[in-house]
Structure 1
Amino acid sequence: MKKIKLLLGIALVGIIAAAYFNYPKLNLISGYASKSMASSVFIAEREPVDIMLNDHEMPLIKLSDCEISTEDNSATASVYGLMPRKAVYKEGLGAVLTNEEFSEHNFDIVPNRFKLQDTLPFPFGNNGIKDTVLANVDYDKLEVAFENAFKNPEQRTRSLLVVHKNQIIGEKYIRGFSKDTKILGWSMTKSILATLYGILEYKDDMKMDYKPFADEIRMKNLKNHITIDHLLRMQSGLEWEENYFKISDVTRMLFLASDMTVAQRNKNVIAAPTEVWNYSSGTTNLLSGILREQFATHQEYLDFPYKELIDKIGMNSMVLETDLSGNYVLSSYAWATTRDWAKFGLLYLNKGMWNGERIFSNSWVDYVSKPTENSDGVYGAHFWLNANGKYPDIPRDLYSVNGFQGQRIFIIPSKDLVVVRTGLEEQTDEQFNTLLKEIIRSIR
C-alpha cells in the first residue's frame, strides 16, 4: 500500500511539474490555434471542422479547442479550457491576436484596393486561362508528375500549378480546394517584403546601403553599420532564435507581441554585419517597420503594397495581415490563391516586367538571386537559391519563395518555368528534386 501511495505521489509530482513547465506554452498553442482558425475561416472561407481535422492536426496544436463567433468575426481557442486566446478578423487587415492592448487597436484605417477590370486571361488578368496546347510539352509525362505529387497522402499536397511560357500547362487541387481558395504562404510572404524594397529602389526612394540605425547610440560602436542590404540578406549580426517548437524569439513575436517590428530591433548585437548568416522572421518584420517609416501616413503605408505590386499585377485575392500596431506581418501572413502566387513567380521570371509595365529594375532579380555570404549558397536576399546544387537534378539558376509546411514558388529561368506547390507538410530536398525533375522532363 505504501508503495502504491509512493508511486501515486511521484506521478502527481510529475503531472504538477509537467503542467508548471508547459503552462507558458499553452499561450502559444491557443494563440496559434485561434489565429489560424480566424484567418482560415474569414479569409479563406473554409469550414471550422476541416481546419480542426487537418490544419490543426499537428503536435500540441491538436490539443486545442476552437469556437467561432460570427457576431464579431472572431475565433477563440483554449487547451482543455486553459489559457484562452482570441483572434478578431477585420476585412482588409486580416485576423489579429488580441491581448490587453486590444482596445487601442485601430481597425478604422484599411488599405485601399486597386483592382482592374478582368478582360484578359491568366496571367495578366483573371478572365480564365489559355487553352492553347504547347507543342514542346509532353502532357502525358506532366500528368504523371502531378499524380506522383498527390498520390502519397503523407505528403499532404494541397495544390500544384505549373506555368511555362506564361501559360498554365498543369493545375490540380485536393478536394475542398480550388483555383479560388486563398492559401497562407507563411514565409513566402518574406519575398513580398523584399519586392516592396525593390520597388522603392526602382523609384529611387531607397538605397540598399541605407543605414536605418545610424543614429542609435547602441549601434555607434559597430565598425560597419547595419544596412538594408544586410537585413535583406539575414546577416545583420543581431541576435535571434528562429525555433517554432519552443518559446523562442519567433514564437513570442508572432503570438505575444503587439508590435512585431521591434522584436528584432531590440536584440543584442552578437556579430558585425556579414560575419554570420542567421535566418530571422524578426528581421523581416523589422524591415516592415522601416518600410512604414518611409511614408508620411499610415494610410500610405497600407496602400503601398497593393497599389505598387499586388493589385498592379492582378494578385487581387491576396490579403496581407497586420499586427495590433497596424504593421504588416510580412514575415508570415500573406494569403492568396495558387494562381496569384504563380503570378508573383512570373513577375520575377519576366525580370520585373508585367504586361508592358516595369515594376522593379531588371537588376533586382540578379540582386535577390545572388548568394549571400556564409549562407552556403542557399540564400539570396529574402529568396532561396539552388546555387550549391541542393536540388542536384535541377538547373542551378533556380531560385524560390519558401514557406512553412512546404509552400513553394520555384522560378527556373533556363526552363521558362514557374512551379507552385502548397500543402500541409514540409517536403525533403529529395522530394522536391524529384517533383521538379519530373516536371522538367515533360518539356522538350
Structure 2
Amino acid sequence: MKKLRIILPLLLVAVLIGGVLYLNPLLPIITGYAAKNMASGIFLGNRTQESHETTDLNFSFIKYVKNKVDYDNQVVESSFLWHKSRAVYIEGYGSILVNDYSIEEIKSRPYRPGPVWRHKQDSIPWPAGDLIADTIPSGIDVDRLNTFLDSVFTGNLPYKGTFAVMVTYKGQPVAERYAEGFGPENRFLSWSMAKSITSALAGILVRADIFDIYAPADIEEWKNDKRRSITPDQLMRMNSGLEWNEDYGNNSDVNKMLFKKGDMAAYAIAKELDYKPGTCFEYSSGSTNIVSLLMRKAIGDDAAYLSFPREALFEKIGMKSAIFEPDPSGTFIGSSYIYATMRDYTRFGLLYLNKGNWLGEQILPEGWVEYTTASSEGSGGVYGAGFWLNLAGKDYPDVPRDMFCCRGHDGQFIYIIPSKHLVIVRTGFSRKDEFDQNRFISGILETLDYF
C-alpha cells in the first residue's frame, strides 16, 4: 500500500505532463480554427455565433472553446485552457488571424475598397444578375429533382450536414434550396474550392503575359538546391515533389500553416523535396499558397494585388459577394479561404462550363479549361491543375467521366458536367463519410429526361 501511494501520484503527474505535452502544440490550432471561422462566419457569412457553435465548431476539442465576439471592433477572441487566438475583420477582405503580425500591421496593408453597386442584382437578368426567368429548360424533371432534394435536406446520412444546394441546367437555375437558418444572402466558406479559383486567377495572369507557369518558380530559397526546377504548373498540379502532410486531424503541416503561421507561403516554401518534381501526386494546400505568393510577385504591387481577384475575376462575372481572405502577411490564402453566396459559386462553375467565356468576353486564356482538366502526372486521372477530375471514375463511378469539380473540406463542392450541361453547387458541414458525393450527383442526373 505504501508503494501504491507513491506510485499513483507519480502516475498522475506523468499523465498530466503527457497531456500538456500533447495539447500544447495543438492549442493554437484549436483556438485559431475557432476564432478564424467564427469571425468570418459572423462578419462575412451573416451567421450567428450560436449557428457556428452548434454546427461548424461542434466537434473534438473545438466545441469546448470559449468565443468572445467584439462587434464594435470586429474582433473575435477564442480561448481554450491556457491559450487564446484572435481574428480581426477587414472590410472587403474578411477575417485574418493575428499570428506573427500585430493588428496594426494587418490593418496597414494597402487594401482598396470595393465598388458601390448602382443597380440591385435582382433587376439584372441571370447570370449577370439575380433576376431568374420562370421558364425551365427542356430535358429535366423539376418535380422529381425537388423530391430528390427533399431527401438531401433531411439531416440524415448519406447527405448529412447540407446547408445549401443550387442546380443549374443549360445555364438556367432549376433548383436553389437552403437548410433552415440559411438563405441567398449567406456567404459560405469555400475551404479548398479556393484552389480552383486560385487556378483561374493564375490563368488570367497567363493571359496578361505576366505569369509563366512553366518557368522555374521565383523563389530565392530554392535557387541553389534541388527545388530550383519546381514550376507553378507543378505546384498547381500537386506534383511539385515538396514534402507535405494534409491531415486535418493533428498538428500537421496544413494545420500549422493555416492556424499558426503569419506568412503561410513562407512555411510551405521551407519544405524539403520528397520526390522528383513532376512525378508524384501529393495533395498540398501549401503548394497553392506558394502560387498565391508567386502571383503577388508577378503583379509586383501590393495594392494592385489585393484588388486583383475582385477586379479581374469577381466583378467580371458578377460574383459581387465574393471575398478572398489574405493571411497576416498580405498574401491571399489561395488554398482555403474564399467566402461567396451559392449564386456566385454557381457563376464560377458556369465560367468553366463555358470554357472561360463570360457572356461573350473571354476571361480565361483559350484552352485554359482544357489545361486545368488534363490529368496531372502521378494523380491517376483524379486531379488536374486546381480541379478534381473523374477521368478514372474512381470516386464517382456513376457520374460522366467529363465531370470535374472544385472540392472543399467538410463538404463544399462545385460540380461541372459539360456533357449534361450541369453545374451543381453544394455547401455544408459534413464530416468524413457523412456525405455521399456519387449518390448525390447521380440522384440529380436521374432527373434528366435523357439520362
Q: How does the TM-score come out when normalised to structure 2?
A: 0.93
Please state if 1:144 is matched with 2:156.
no
Paired residue for 1:58?
A: 59
Partner Cα distance (1:111, 1:279) in 2: 33
1:268-307 map, 5 Å: 268-307=272-311
Query: Residue 165 of structure 1 contacts residue 417 of structure 1 at CA under 8 Å; is this kept in 2?
Result: yes
User: Which amino acid is the alignment partner of residue 196 of structure 2?
Assistant: S
One of 332, 337, 360 as aligned partner of 2:341: 337
1:156-175 map, 5 Å: 156-175=161-180
Q: Secondary structure at the match of 1:153?
A: coil
Distance 1:326 1:218, change over 3 A: closer
Paired residue for 2:189?
A: 184
1:220-235 map, 5 Å: 220=224, 222=226, 225-235=229-239
Paired residue for 1:78?
A: 79
Q: Cα offset for 1:72?
A: 1.4
User: Which amino acid is the alignment partner of residue 144 of structure 1?
Assistant: T
Paired residue for 1:323?
A: 327
Paired residue for 1:134?
A: 137
Paired residue for 1:364?
A: 368
Q: Cα offset for 1:16?
A: 3.0
Superposed CA offset, 1:81-133 (max 9, x none): x201111111112111114531433445223435574442221213x311112
Paired residue for 2:352?
A: 348
Paired residue for 2:412?
A: 407
Q: Cα offset for 1:12?
A: 4.1
Superposed CA offset, 1:240-269 (max 9, x none): 221211112211111111111211112112
Distance 1:430 1:83, change over 3 A: closer
Paired residue for 1:397?
A: 402
Distance 1:403 1:116, change over 3 A: farther
Identity of aligned residues (%): 37
CA-based RMSD: 2.0
Query: Residue 90 of structure 1 contacts residue 107 of structure 1 at CA under 8 Å; is this kept in 2?
Result: no
User: Which amino acid is the alignment partner of residue 32 of structure 1?
Assistant: Y
Partner Cα distance (2:340, 2:245) in 1: 28
Query: Residue 224 of structure 1 contacts residue 272 of structure 1 at CA under 8 Å; is this kept in 2?
Result: no
Gapped runs of 5+ residues in structure 1?
none
User: Which amino acid is the alignment partner of residue 363 of structure 1?
Assistant: G
Distance 1:33 1:221, change over 3 A: closer
One of 412, 418, 426 as aligned partner of 1:421: 426
User: Which amino acid is the alignment partner of residue 73 of structure 2?
Assistant: D
Q: Cα offset for 1:426?
A: 4.3
Paired residue for 1:239?
A: 243
Q: Secondary structure at the match of 1:264?
A: helix
Query: Residue 116 of structure 1 contacts residue 311 of structure 1 at CA under 8 Å; is this kept in 2?
Result: no
Q: Secondary structure at the match of 1:205?
A: coil
Q: Cα offset for 1:166?
A: 0.9
Range with greater deviation from structure 2 (110-119 or 60-69): 110-119
Range with greater deviation from structure 2 (172-181 or 263-272): 263-272
Paired residue for 1:308?
A: 312
Paired residue for 1:438?
A: 443
Please state if 1:29 is matched with 2:30.
yes
Q: Cα offset for 1:430?
A: 8.2
Paired residue for 2:210?
A: 205
Superposed CA offset, 1:256-284 (max 9, x none): 11111211112112222112111111111
Distance 1:427 1:167, change over 3 A: farther
Q: Secondary structure at the match of 1:402?
A: strand
User: Which amino acid is the alignment partner of residue 20 of structure 1?
Assistant: L
One of 199, 224, 235 as aligned partner of 1:194: 199
User: Which amino acid is the alignment partner of residue 65 of structure 1?
Assistant: K
Partner Cα distance (1:352, 1:101) in 2: 37
Q: Cα offset for 1:181?
A: 0.5
Distance 1:203 1:429, change over 3 A: farther
Q: Cα offset for 1:7?
A: 3.9
Query: Residue 351 of structure 1 contacts residue 361 of structure 1 at CA under 8 Å; is this kept in 2?
Result: no
User: Which amino acid is the alignment partner of residue 96 of structure 1?
Assistant: I
Please state if 1:383 is matched with 2:393.
no
Distance 1:99 1:352, change over 3 A: closer
Q: Secondary structure at the match of 1:76?
A: strand
Distance 1:35 1:217, change over 3 A: closer
Paired residue for 1:257?
A: 261
Partner Cα distance (2:278, 2:360) in 1: 37
Q: Secondary structure at the match of 2:209?
A: coil
User: Which amino acid is the alignment partner of residue 403 of structure 2?
Assistant: L
Q: Cα offset for 1:310?
A: 0.7
Query: Residue 355 of structure 2 contacts residue 369 of structure 2 at CA under 8 Å; is this kept in 1?
Result: yes
Superposed CA offset, 1:383-429 (max 9, x none): 00001102111100000000000100000000000000111004659
Gapped runs of 5+ residues in structure 2?
none
Paired residue for 1:248?
A: 252
Q: Cα offset for 1:381?
A: 0.3
Partner Cα distance (2:87, 2:167) in 1: 35
